[in-house]
Amino acid sequence: MIWGLSALSSLGFLTILGLSLIGPRLGLGSYWPPEETASWQHQSFRALFRVGVYPLVAASAILGREIGFALPFVGCGLLILGFGCALLFTGKLGWKQAFGSAEGLVTTSVYAYSRNPVYVATMFGMLGWAVLLPYAAIVLPLLLWAVLYILAPFLEEPWLEARFGDEYLAYKEKTPRFLWI
């Protein structure tokens, strides 16, 4: 059961990665970020992301109940802090804008220190998750999710440059992609 949920979760993240990286070469157009909320890209991303996350949550709950959690204070701290900050930073950006709407470039608050603070914070949350449940069936989909979040900015940057032009280029010049790069 755990490996089935892990496989389903991994499939969701791998499909997003595949569509993002290979889709344009197959003539499917740009997958991420989506142009319109009604587009197949936006709708399928939302569905596939849920396929990635929901089985992972279910597998984690089952494993945690059956086996217990490793390093609960460290893991929970990172998980809550990471995902909590990701939600807060998404709110600062705006929910629509976080999912492909071009309503204006946000360069203040945490976005003055990182062009992708939601991804950075989420990775801390994923690290906490892996510390809580350091089992291959959990860590594998988390790694795929992390790869997705490491690659996403490279897919988003040409889109942002096209939408916001010199304003984005100036922001890109002075603000690191993540916290350190």
Q: Is residue 109 part of a domain?
A: yes
Structure confidence at residue 70 (pLDDT): 83
Q: Could you give the CA distance from residue 123 to residue 128 in angstroms, rounded to a whole number?
A: 9
Q: Is residue 167 part of a domain?
A: yes
Q: Is residue 56 part of a domain?
A: yes
Q: Is residue 180 part of a domain?
A: no
Q: Is residue 132 part of a domain?
A: yes
Give the mean pLDDT per block of 10 residues along the chain (181 residues).
97 96 85 82 93 98 90 93 95 65 80 94 97 97 98 92 94 92 60
For 97-127, letters b (16+ CB in 10 Å) and e give bbbbbeeeebeeebbeebbbbbbbbbbbbbb
Structure confidence at residue 97 (pLDDT): 60
| Inter-residue contact 107 to 171 (CB < 8 Å) | yes
Structure confidence at residue 98 (pLDDT): 57
Both tokens of 13, joined, read 């993240």
Q: Is residue 179 part of a domain?
A: no
- The total domain count for the chain is 1
Q: Could you give the CA distance from residue 42 to residue 40 in angstroms, rounded to a whole number?
A: 6
Q: Is residue 70 part of a domain?
A: yes
| Inter-residue contact 29 to 23 (CB < 8 Å) | yes
Both tokens of 74, joined, read 């460290």
Structure confidence at residue 141 (pLDDT): 99
Q: Is residue 155 part of a domain?
A: yes
Q: Can you give the residue range of the structural domain that contains 106?
A: 2-174
Q: What is the pTM of this model?
A: 0.90
